Chains A and B, each alone.
Chain A
Amino acid sequence: MNQDLTVVAILLGIIHQGIRLATPYLYAAIGEMFSQRSGVLNLGVEGIMLMGAFFGFYSVFQTGNVWLGVAAAAFVGLLMGLLMSVVSVTFKAQQGISGIGLYMFGLGASSLLFKTMLGSIQPVRGFQALRGCVGENFCMADIPVIGDIFFGYTALVYGAYLLVPIAWWVLNRSTWGLKIRAVGQNPEAADSLGVSVDAVRYASVMLGSMLAGIAGASLSIGLLNVFQEEMTNGIGFIAVALVYFGSWKPAGVLVGALLFSGVNALQLWAQVLRLNIPSDVAVMLPYLLTIIALALPFRRAMQPAALTKPFARGEG
């Protein structure tokens, strides 16, 4: 009987962690989805996340205001997106390489700023779980068994999940979404109908990068509440892969994000339970899973036709 209870508690713990840990994947991958649907493969997400993580953290470190942290992360993400757009849209650079350049810049710059402006790892009081408290002595999160799973998260976590239906609506029901899809599928046709291909791509890449910045902040002031060099640990690159895995659809991206965070959560619990899996093997798992996910055959047809192809009028 007692053992059954432990199993349930562990399971609930895994689910709670899984839902929490999906946050940075969701922000980054939904953002990247906008960029890719407009035809730009932004591989710099990892670098943008690092910059967002640093500036989000530093703002909270200085002012204590978590929302200012999110705003700072979003703003620096926007700037990084502008850089990516200038290079990839206006100068039509090969997107795979420009993204790697952006990653290296973000990695170097965030580490440099960390070393010169903070110097050592410091904690901050980041976002706190909302817990859904009603009045003085009752919180929804205290409801036995399911309370924590529904109410025990920070605003940033809820925001990430809210983003999924919003992204779906923008992409499939708004005029702007129609333009994004047109530009990613057939830029020549969109151009002939008077849609500015470059403007739509700039906007999509910058929106995506802004969300990537917030994704970084969701780590440094939401989940971990510290800033460390290279703290994103490949999440940005996995997020790019998640867009492929999710067939360029918000719902697909959500499934992928939950799958990956689930694996991460399991890994944490395996360590807690001292299961005999070498930590190096466990750490390797998400990356192996990414390659397998990319190799799954069913999603190829959904790829935006103009992905990675720069557009120049009359050269199509």
Chain B
Amino acid sequence: MRKIRWNRRFFDRLVDILVPILAVLAAFLVGAVILWLQDVSPIEAYRAMLVGAFGTKNGLSDTLVKAIPLMLVGLGIAIAFRGGVINIGAEGQIIVGALLTTFVGVELVGDFPPVLAILIGLLAGAFMGGLWGAVPGYLKAKLGVNEILSTIMMNQIAIQIGYYLLRRPMLDPAELAAGTNIPQSARLGRALDLPRFTDVAQWLGVTRSAADLELDGYLGQLYGVLVEPSRLHTGLIFAIIMAILVYVLLWRTTLGYRIRAVGLSRSASEYAGIKVGRTMVLSMTLSGMFAGLAGAIEILGLHHRMFEPVAVSAGFGFSGIVAALFGKLHPLGIIPSSILFGGLLVGGDKMQRAMQIPQVMITAVLGLVVLFVVSTEYLVQRRATRRVSIDTSATEKEAVEDAIAIPTQETG
């Protein structure tokens, strides 16, 4: 009896995981039709994409570099979703986070000891992003302002503030002197450079390349990515640690319990004595903090200076939503999902170079992924409720709670 029940749970879990994968495949199928209509062989295009993203050393390291902001943004999106609020404002939160980190890094802590400087830089980004998330959260809790609309507007405001600051007070003195006036800041102090993987390898005394060790094939590539010079920085480790922390926060703390309770039912939470408004503001603030961290990490690990706001946020605010949804809004699911969608972004770039297919096609495919994943969510949920009515033991209920990935929203 016990064994049978376990098998059914296993099967249900399998379905839960397979459904979004099928949804992504369906989106790619539509993408293939679009390619075919443009007289491009979809098989060749997708091959170029896959090889470009995962099949070479540089591709793989670029994929992982892109996975870092996706992971952090995705974690923030997941916290908001779990708390029953929708954060479309990650784009703006990344920008304001990156702006404050840049300001702090250029003006204040450039000559601090590295560990302290990096810590302050990260905190600055998280603080500013959190603030940018708290505003729509507060407006929702107190005045009933639809947070989707307010976060979208906050994105536009962040972009314009970014341009304003970068054209005037934060403009690189070198740009000003040269008279080119490209909107970008000065370089941050070297103390704030996040170590790259290759730096760490050197500290550890690992200096031999893959060729030296006669490692070939995929193992050699992986070794190459981790040891040989590449853009891959330790932000990846930071992001993975954050994912684990978010898991602990959401499932092992009272605060996380409250967030999820409010996400599942606002009225029931209110009845149970949870301060619903305050919890929603908190979910949005935390969500903004992670997007702000993503902005900070991009500056510290990759760009080392702030420039065109929309080029820094690079659409991660939207692709992060896709990564979070595909990761079933689970912190540990978001790790592989971010790597997958990071690969998609890199692959799109490679596809553009190899086959002259505009990279914007990836945006369209991502949109379809969202549409298909949220469509299948209903089917998964219906299976879940059927499960409850068949067998209502406590453990099963818990499983259902996990399976219902997107909490139902109670008011617009």
Q: Which residues of A contact B (CB under 8 A)?
A: 41, 43, 47, 83, 86-87, 91-94, 96-109, 111-112, 115-116, 229, 234, 237, 240-241, 244, 278, 280-281, 283-284, 287-288, 290-291, 294-295, 297, 300, 303, 307-308, 310
Contacts and interface: CB of A to CB of B under 8 A. Distances in A.
A244 B160 contact: no
B408 A94 contact: yes
22 contacts: A83-B371, A87-B374, A92-B378, A93-B371, A94-B374, A94-B408, A97-B406, A98-B370, A100-B318, A100-B321, A101-B367, A101-B368, A104-B318, A105-B363, A105-B367, A112-B361, A112-B364, A244-B146, A287-B157, A288-B157, A291-B145, A307-B412
Nearest to B374: A93
Nearest to B358: A115
Interface of B: 34, 38, 86, 88, 139, 143-146, 148-150, 152-154, 156-157, 160-161, 163-164, 167-168, 318, 321, 325, 358, 360-371, 374-379, 406, 408-409, 411-412
Given A112-B34, A291-B153, A294-B149, A280 B163 contact: yes
A83 B371 CA distance: 9
Contact of B363 (A111, A280, A287): A111
> Which of B148, B163, B368, B408 gathers most chain A CB within 10 Å?
B148
A208 B164 CA distance: 36
Contacts of A280: 160-161, 163-164, 167
Contacts of B370: 97-98, 100-101, 104
Contact of A308 (B139, B144, B154, B412): B412
B210 to A, nearest CB: 37
Given A98-B370, A104-B318, 18 more contacts: A83-B371, A93-B377, A94-B408, A101-B368, A101-B370, A105-B364, A106-B367, A107-B363, A108-B363, A109-B34, A116-B38, A237-B152, A281-B164, A284-B157, A284-B161, A288-B157, A308-B409, A308-B412
A38 B95 CA distance: 36
A108 B367 contact: yes
Contacts of A111: 358, 360, 363
Contacts of A91: 374-376, 378-379
Contacts of A100: 88, 148, 318, 321, 370
B374 A107 contact: no
A287 B164 contact: no
A180 B363 CA distance: 33
A60 to B, nearest CB: 22
> Which of A86, A103, A294 gathers most chain B CB within 10 Å?
A294
Contact of A96 (B145, B148, B366): B148
A183 B409 CA distance: 19
Nearest to A98: B374
B156 A98 contact: no
Contacts of A234: 152-153, 156
A41 B409 CA distance: 12
A241 B412 CA distance: 12
A72 B412 CA distance: 32
Contact of A241 (B149, B164, B375, B377): B149
B86 A96 contact: yes
Contacts of B168: 278
Contacts of B364: 104-105, 107-109, 112
A47 B367 contact: yes
B145 A294 contact: yes
A295 B152 CA distance: 15
B145 A101 contact: no
A105 B156 contact: no
**5 shortest A-B CB distances, which residue pairs?**
A108-B364, A101-B370, A105-B367, A108-B363, A104-B367
